[in-house]
A and B are shown apart, each in its own frame.
Chain A
Amino acid sequence: MKNVFIMIVLVSGLVFAGCSSKHVAPQEQPAQIEMQKQAVVPAKEPSKQLSQRQPENITDQQLAKVETTEEAPTYSEEKSPFEDIHFDYDKYEIQSDAQVALKSVSSWLLKNPSARLLIEGHCDERGTNEYNLALADRRAKSVRDYLIALGIASPRVEMVSYGKEKPICTEHTEGCWAKNRRAHFVILREAGK
């Protein structure tokens, strides 16, 4: 019995080898759509037989509305007294003029110990959503790291990236793009205080 199986394997090998060498030629011709012979199809995908008695019943994935559960904010927000600081294209290093601005942000925070700061990172519209979100994340983090280095306690400085999703200027010009490559500041107060 064992020998028989070995023979089957050997013969199968031969037959298949015959198959592949025999049909090299047809594959060299330009690809053509040909009618498939009925006998072939059920073997490959039995569920798609060419003729059937019972009608195929068509159903569709349900798509009922799923509502997002709203989450309540844990703080209230105030407009900050600070101007935006700006970045070079595809860069997240703090420029020298921005360093001056950040020093005044840090001295304000030192004088207002109950306030927390939210830094928003933004990009211009060039580039793709996800990379811009990562880039704007790095911009906000550069600002946050700079403020921490100036002596602000890290829990007082939050950050969020908006990528290119919230431009303040919508023209497709270098002037507009420069305005959008920014870190924006928001003052946070604990909710209910």
Chain B
Amino acid sequence: MKTRSKIQSSKFKGSTILLFTVCLLSAVCRLMPAVAEAKVYIDISSPAFRKLPVAIQEFTGPSGKEISDIIRNDLAITGLFAFIERAAHLENPSQPFNPKNWTPIGAEAVVKGSATMAKDLIVTVSLYDVVEGKEILRKEYKAGKELLRPLSHTISNDIYYALTGETGIFRSRIAFVGEDKGERSVYIMDWDGNRITRTGLKGNIVLSPRWARDGSRLIYSAERNRQWGIYLLDFTKMSERKVFSSKGTNMAGDFFPDGDEFVISSSKGGNPDLYVVNLKNSAATRLTSSRGIEVSPAVSPDSGYIAFVSDRGGSPQIYLMRKDGSGVKRITFEGSYNTSPAWSPKGDKIVFAGRRGTNQIFIVNPDGAGLTQLTSQGNNEDPSFSPDGRYITFSSDRDGVKGIYIMRANGESQERITPRNLKTYNPRWSPN
């Protein structure tokens, strides 16, 4: 009898779990359309999506204007929003949100905020849905005064996430090489070109800073005393360490996702070939052994493949191989000079520089299809994707002095972000 009741109760428990699961799943099901529609898909063949009309009010309090301007600038690069200019606003920034003030001027989302400055900067932000007449985001942020820009970018990320369901890139950074009075060094700046910081890291020639996937380290190549070495900058320890050197030309390529290994091009074996270097034991494993040039390796996001440049077919072209060096196949066939491949974060595109009289930025699918030219003015080199794959940074000499530019991944909205008095190149967008 006892046994029987036990069985019954477990059956009851089982069907409760079942019922609960069905309820949960159908709840998920009902929520899914919101997720699906919120997801913004930008087709590089320029689709006709509707820009969301947004009003960003000037924030009240000290630095309020500066903060709200940074947020507006962040959201502007996306091309996803139409801004209702401040002169048209009927509601005073200090007044409480009232949808009746916004419907007539066509705003569908409104951002309001206030800043106070004491020991720290404290900013409160609200985001409103005009159609539903309700607040969909309310949050307070605190930072030291010197972190006004990172704080504003964090707000942009939260607004962007609330409106699109996607993670914004507004706190990402770009590492690059700068030349100031003839001296070359590794620099870091915010993605919008602000807060340019020169590290003390230099060489006669410095090239190719490349991020580890967690954003905590950079590897780059430097020529010092007529030797090319690969160096590692660790942000957590703030230290620089030589991690590879040999006779010949050594050029930093790319980290593998685990951060313990990276791939480089080295001519230590006679001509430039690709090697995997292990950071823990400094062992270098050879991946290619052609008689020509193998250079600029880029590891795919899933770490299964390496894109690289080889002249084995008579001219520099982009090739793909498995991470162990097998299965080499060529993916560029147009033009006689295609170099500098970099992967999109999803692994569905490769961006590179191709020479068509001048150097231009192209993207192509990893199977070689879908070749699209994105730039046309001046020489454009060193492309890499933003962490969300929506933007590309590159260097260009289109206005005389080599500088760093950003654009949307479909080539729209090309904009110089570094000042004209600093020669800059080799930009790499941080992975986060």
A interface residues (Cβ-Cβ under 8 A, vs B)? 1, 3-4, 7-8, 11-12, 15-16, 18-19, 22-23, 26-27, 30-41, 43-45, 48, 50-52, 54-74, 90, 118, 126-131, 133-138, 141, 158-163, 165-166
B199 CB contacts on chain A under 8 angstroms: 63, 65-66
A-B contact pairs, 11 of them (CB 8 A): A11-B18, A51-B137, A55-B122, A56-B154, A60-B150, A66-B201, A126-B355, A127-B359, A133-B251, A134-B293, A141-B270
B197 CB contacts on chain A under 8 angstroms: 63
The yes or no answer to B57 lying at the interface (CB within 8 A) is no
Q: Which positions 129-151 of chain B face chain A at CB distance < 8 Å?
A: 129, 131-132, 136-143, 147, 150-151
Given contacts A63-B199, A129-B381, contact A4 B17 (CB under 8 A): yes
Tell whether, in the assembled complex, residue B36 and residue A26 are in contact, meaning their CB atoms are under 8 Å apart: yes
Tell whether, in the assembled complex, residue B205 and residue A162 are in contact, meaning their CB atoms are under 8 Å apart: yes
Tell whether, in the assembled complex, residue A129 and residue B425 are in contact, meaning their CB atoms are under 8 Å apart: yes
Smallest CB-CB A-B distances: 6 pairs? A4-B14, A58-B143, A55-B140, A33-B52, A67-B200, A15-B25
Docked Cα-Cα span, A74 to B163, in Å, equals: 60
- B314 to chain A: closest CB distance in Å? 10
- B420 to chain A: closest CB distance in Å? 18
- A3, A27, A135: which contacts B36 (Cβ < 8 A)? A27
B interface residues (Cβ-Cβ under 8 A, vs A)? 10, 14-15, 17-18, 21-22, 25-26, 28-29, 31-42, 47-52, 80-81, 108-109, 122, 129, 131-132, 136-143, 147, 150-151, 154, 158, 161-165, 167, 188, 197, 199-203, 205, 207-208, 215, 222-228, 233, 235, 238-240, 247-249, 251, 265, 267, 270-272, 292-296, 309, 315-316, 337, 339-340, 353, 355, 359, 381-382, 425-426
Tell whether, in the assembled complex, residue A33 and residue B48 are in contact, meaning their CB atoms are under 8 Å apart: no
- A8, A67, A133: which contacts B249 (Cβ < 8 A)? A133
Question: Besides A11-B22, A55-B139, A134-B295, 13 other CB < 8 A contacts?
Answer: A15-B26, A22-B29, A31-B42, A33-B80, A37-B34, A41-B165, A51-B139, A63-B235, A66-B233, A67-B201, A159-B248, A160-B228, A161-B267
Tell whether, in the assembled complex, residue A66 and residue B18 are in contact, meaning their CB atoms are under 8 Å apart: no
Closest to A118 in B: B226
Docked Cα-Cα span, A132 to B146, in Å, equals: 41
Tell whether, in the assembled complex, residue B132 and residue A129 are in contact, meaning their CB atoms are under 8 Å apart: no
B22 CB contacts on chain A under 8 angstroms: 11, 15
Given contacts A129-B207, A161-B228, A165-B205, contact A58 B139 (CB under 8 A): no
- B253 to chain A: closest CB distance in Å? 9
Tell whether, in the assembled complex, residue A50 and residue B162 are in contact, meaning their CB atoms are under 8 Å apart: yes
Tell whether, in the assembled complex, residue B52 and residue A50 are in contact, meaning their CB atoms are under 8 Å apart: no
Tell whether, in the assembled complex, residue B18 and residue A7 are in contact, meaning their CB atoms are under 8 Å apart: yes
Tell whether, in the assembled complex, residue B353 and residue A55 are in contact, meaning their CB atoms are under 8 Å apart: no
Docked Cα-Cα span, A161 to B204, in Å, equals: 12
- B103 to chain A: closest CB distance in Å? 15
Given contacts A15-B26, A131-B296, contact A90 B240 (CB under 8 A): no
Closest to B426 in A: A129
- A60, A90, A118, A137: which contacts B147 (Cβ < 8 A)? A60
Given contacts A128-B381, A130-B296, A131-B295, contact A50 B14 (CB under 8 A): no
- B193 to chain A: closest CB distance in Å? 16
Docked Cα-Cα span, A171 to B200, in Å, equals: 31
**CB contacts between A and B, total, < 8 Å:** 254
A36 CB contacts on chain B under 8 angstroms: 34-35, 38, 136, 162-165
Tell whether, in the assembled complex, residue B129 and residue A35 are in contact, meaning their CB atoms are under 8 Å apart: yes
Docked Cα-Cα span, A117 to B37, in Å, equals: 67
- B35, B40, B202, B226: which contacts A31 (Cβ < 8 A)? B40
Docked Cα-Cα span, A166 to B18, in Å, equals: 72
Tell whether, in the assembled complex, residue B225 and residue A73 are in contact, meaning their CB atoms are under 8 Å apart: yes
Closest to A128 in B: B339
Q: Which of A59, A127, A130, A166 has the most CB of B within 10 A?
A: A130
Docked Cα-Cα span, A116 to B36, in Å, equals: 68
Tell whether, in the assembled complex, residue A138 and residue B271 are in contact, meaning their CB atoms are under 8 Å apart: yes
B14 CB contacts on chain A under 8 angstroms: 1, 3-4
Docked Cα-Cα span, A136 to B240, in Å, equals: 27
B164 CB contacts on chain A under 8 angstroms: 33, 36
Given contacts A36-B165, A131-B295, contact A8 B37 (CB under 8 A): no
Tell whether, in the assembled complex, residue A90 and residue B337 are in contact, meaning their CB atoms are under 8 Å apart: yes
Given contacts A15-B22, A35-B109, contact A50 B137 (CB under 8 A): yes
Tell whether, in the assembled complex, residue A141 and residue B267 are in contact, meaning their CB atoms are under 8 Å apart: yes
Tell whether, in the assembled complex, residue B271 and residue A130 are in contact, meaning their CB atoms are under 8 Å apart: no
Docked Cα-Cα span, A56 to B142, in Å, equals: 6
- A33, A38, A52, A141: which contacts B163 (Cβ < 8 A)? A33
Given contacts A30-B47, A36-B165, contact A161 B142 (CB under 8 A): no
- B52, B165, B227: which contacts A40 (Cβ < 8 A)? B165
Docked Cα-Cα span, A175 to B265, in Å, equals: 31
Tell whether, in the assembled complex, residue B353 and residue A130 are in contact, meaning their CB atoms are under 8 Å apart: no
Q: Which of A44, A67, A74, A127 has the most CB of B within 10 A?
A: A127
- B215, B271, B316, B425: which contacts A131 (Cβ < 8 A)? B316
Tell whether, in the assembled complex, residue A135 and residue B139 are in contact, meaning their CB atoms are under 8 Å apart: no
B225 CB contacts on chain A under 8 angstroms: 71-74
Docked Cα-Cα span, A22 to B26, in Å, equals: 12
Docked Cα-Cα span, A175 to B154, in Å, equals: 52
A163 CB contacts on chain B under 8 angstroms: 205
A22 CB contacts on chain B under 8 angstroms: 29
Tell whether, in the assembled complex, residue B37 and residue A32 are in contact, meaning their CB atoms are under 8 Å apart: yes
Tell whether, in the assembled complex, residue B34 and residue A31 are in contact, meaning their CB atoms are under 8 Å apart: no
A129 CB contacts on chain B under 8 angstroms: 207-208, 381-382, 425-426
Tell whether, in the assembled complex, residue A48 and residue B141 are in contact, meaning their CB atoms are under 8 Å apart: no
B161 CB contacts on chain A under 8 angstroms: 41, 45, 48
